[in-house]
Amino acid sequence: MLRQARDANATRLNSLPEYFGMLGAIWAGAPALLVYFVWLAFEGDILMAQVLEMLPDADSMAATQELLIGDIRNAIENPISYRIASEEVRMAADRYRELSQTATLALTATCLSVFAVCSALALKFMTPRIRARAQVEKIIRGFLLLCSMLAIFITIGIVLSVLFEASRFFQIVSVTEFLFGLDWSPQMAIREDQVGSSGAFGAVPLFVGTLLISFIAMLVAAPVGLMSAIYLSEYAPSKVRAAVKPLLEILAGVPTVVYGFFAAIVVGPALRGFGQSVGLDVASESALAAGFVMGIMIIPFVSSISDDVITAVPQAMRDGSLAMGATHSETMRRVILPAALPGIIGGLLLAISRAIGETMIVVMAAGLSANLTANPLEAVTTVTVQIVTLLVGDQEFDSPKTLAAFALGLALFFITLALNFIALYVVRKYREQYE
C-alpha cells in the first residue's frame, strides 16, 4: 500500500519514504500488539475465574480458594501433579486447557482483525502531506522516554511490592516488635495460632549480626583497600601500578558465591583449627570467617574509590606540601587524606551498604540461628541470610514466615538506600569542590 503512495507522490512527500513506511507499520501494528499483551496479561485470571465458577461447590472462602487455584495451576503445568491431583482439580485443569485453546484462537482472530482495520485506516489517512518523520520521531522519543522512566518504575515496583507484602506482615506482627524484639525464631511460628504469642519475630539479633559481620568486613577492607590505594597512587612505580591495579580489580569481579564457598571451605575451617590450636572455641560458621571473606571482597571496592578521590586531589597540593620539605607520608596524612576525607567517607559508606546487602557469602558461611552476640567467634545470622532461608524451599505465601522476609527486605532496602543516598551526595559534593 505504501509502495503505491511512494510511487505516485514521490515528488511531493515531505519526509523520506521510509518514514511513511515506519509510521504505517506503527499505526497498523501497535494497536494489535497492545490488544495482544493486554489479553495475555488478563487471560489467566479470567479463565481461572470461569473454571472456578464451573466447579460444583466453588467455595467462597478466599483462603481455600487460593489453595485450590494453586493446585489447579500445578496440575496444568506439571503432568505429575496432574496425575496425583484430585478428580475435581483434574476436571478443572482439563476445562482450563480447553478454554485456553479457544482463547488462543479468539486472540489470534481479534489481533488479525484489529490489524486489518488499523491498516485500512492507516491507508486512508496516510497522505503525502503528513509529516511522517516528525511523527515517527515523536513516537520513538516517547519510547525512549519510557525506557528511561523504567528506572523509576523499578524503584516504585520494589517499594510497592515489598511494602505491600511487608504491610501484610505488620498486620500480624507489630512494627515495634519487629524492630525492637530481641528474639527471632520464625520456624516456631509456622502454625497460625503461635504467631504473636510466641514473639518470634524480633529482628534485632539479625540487625546486630549484620552489623557485626559488616564491621569485621570493613575492618579488613578499609585499611587494606585504603593503604593499597595510597601505595599504588603515591609510591608504586607506574609498572607495578599497571600490573597490580587490574589484579586487585579481579577480586571485585569474582562472583560472591565463590567467596561464599571459599569462606565455608577454606577460611571457616582454618579459623576453627587455628582457634583450637590456641585454645579458643571458634564456631565453624563464625562471624569472623564470613566477615573476613566479605572484607576481601570489598577491598577492591574501597581501593578503587580511594584511588579515585586521592588522585582527584590536585597535584598542586602535593607539590605544595613536598616543596615545603614534607615527606610523602606527611603529605599524604596531613594534606591529601584530610582533603580527600569526604570522598573516602562516601566510598566507605557505599562499601558498608555493599556489605550489608551482600547475601551469598553469609548464606554459605554465616549461621542460621539468631544469636544476639557481639562475639565475632560465635555464629550469627544476618538479614539477608534470613530472607533466603525464609523464602527458599516450600513456601506458602500467606504465612507470616514468608511475609517476614519481605519485612526484612523492606528494612534492608531502606537502610542501603539511605547509605547510598548519603554516600553519593557526599561524593558529589566532594567532586564539585575540585572541579
Interactions with other proteins, residue window 294-333 (CB under 8 A): 296, 299-300, 303, 314, 316-330, 332-333
From 79-87, 202-210, 369-377, 388-396, give the range in contact with other proteins by CB under 8 A: 388-396
By CB under 8 A, what part of segment 354-373 binds other proteins?
A: 354, 356-360, 363-364
Nearer to other proteins, 102 or 433 (CB): 433
Cα(320)–Cα(330) distance, rounded to whole angstroms? 12
Residue 297 CB, shortest distance to other proteins, in Å, is 9
Residue 120 CB, shortest distance to other proteins, in Å, is 29
Cβ-contact 203, 406 below 8 angstroms: no
Nearer to other proteins, 118 or 233 (CB): 233
Amino acid 291 reads G
Using CB under 8 A as the binding rule, whether residue 36 contacts other proteins is answered as: no
Other CB atoms within 10 Å distance of the CB of residue 434: 13
Other CB atoms within 10 Å distance of the CB of residue 225: 27
From 2-10, 28-36, 94-102, 263-271, give the range in contact with other proteins by CB under 8 A: 263-271
Residue 350 CB, shortest distance to other proteins, in Å, is 7
Nearer to other proteins, 122 or 310 (CB): 310
Cα(278)–Cα(431) distance, rounded to whole angstroms? 48
Using CB under 8 A as the binding rule, whether residue 401 contacts other proteins is answered as: no
Using CB under 8 A as the binding rule, whether residue 37 contacts other proteins is answered as: no
Residue 283 CB, shortest distance to other proteins, in Å, is 18
Q: How far is CA 96 from CA 65, 73, 113, in A?
A: 16, 9, 25
In order, the DSSP letters of 367-430 are -SS------TTS----HHHHHHHHHSSS--TTSHHHHHHHHHHHHHHHHHHHHHHHHHHHHHHH
Using CB under 8 A as the binding rule, whether residue 91 contacts other proteins is answered as: no
By CB under 8 A, what part of segment 183-212 binds other proteins?
A: none
As a residue count, the chain comes to 435
Q: In a 10 Å sphere around its CB, with 0-12 CB exposed, 13-18 middle and 19+ buried, how is residue 232 labelled?
A: buried
Using CB under 8 A as the binding rule, whether residue 92 contacts other proteins is answered as: no
Nearer to other proteins, 357 or 376 (CB): 357
Residue 395 CB, shortest distance to other proteins, in Å, is 9
Using CB under 8 A as the binding rule, whether residue 103 contacts other proteins is answered as: no
Residue 35 CB, shortest distance to other proteins, in Å, is 18
Cα(147)–Cα(145) distance, rounded to whole angstroms? 5
By CB under 8 A, what part of segment 157-186 binds other proteins?
A: 157-158, 161-162, 164-165
From 81-89, 108-116, 199-207, 248-256, give the range in contact with other proteins by CB under 8 A: 248-256
Nearer to other proteins, 105 or 144 (CB): 144
DSSP state of 357: H
Using CB under 8 A as the binding rule, whether residue 248 contacts other proteins is answered as: yes
Sorted by sequence, the CB contacts under 8 Å of residue 408 that are 6+ apart come out as: 203, 206, 383, 386, 387, 390
Please work out the total of residues on this chain that contact other proteins, with binding judged by CB under 8 A: 110
Cα(421)–Cα(81) distance, rounded to whole angstroms? 47
Nearer to other proteins, 304 or 373 (CB): 304
By CB under 8 A, what part of segment 264-293 binds other proteins?
A: 264-266
Task: Give the chain's radius of gyration (CA, Å).
Answer: 31
Sorted by sequence, the CB contacts under 8 Å of residue 81 that are 6+ apart come out as: 71, 74, 75
Return the residue of 203, 224, 305, 348 that touches other proteins, per CB under 8 A.
224
Using CB under 8 A as the binding rule, whether residue 25 contacts other proteins is answered as: no
Using CB under 8 A as the binding rule, whether residue 347 contacts other proteins is answered as: no
Residue 196 in 3-state DSSP? coil
**Using alpha carbons only, what angle is made at residue 87 by residues 84 and 89, rounded to the nearest 5 degrees?**
80
Nearer to other proteins, 215 or 261 (CB): 261
DSSP state of 184: B
Return the residue of 232, 294, 348, 404 that touches other proteins, per CB under 8 A.
232
Return the residue of 129, 131, 141, 429 that touches other proteins, per CB under 8 A.
141
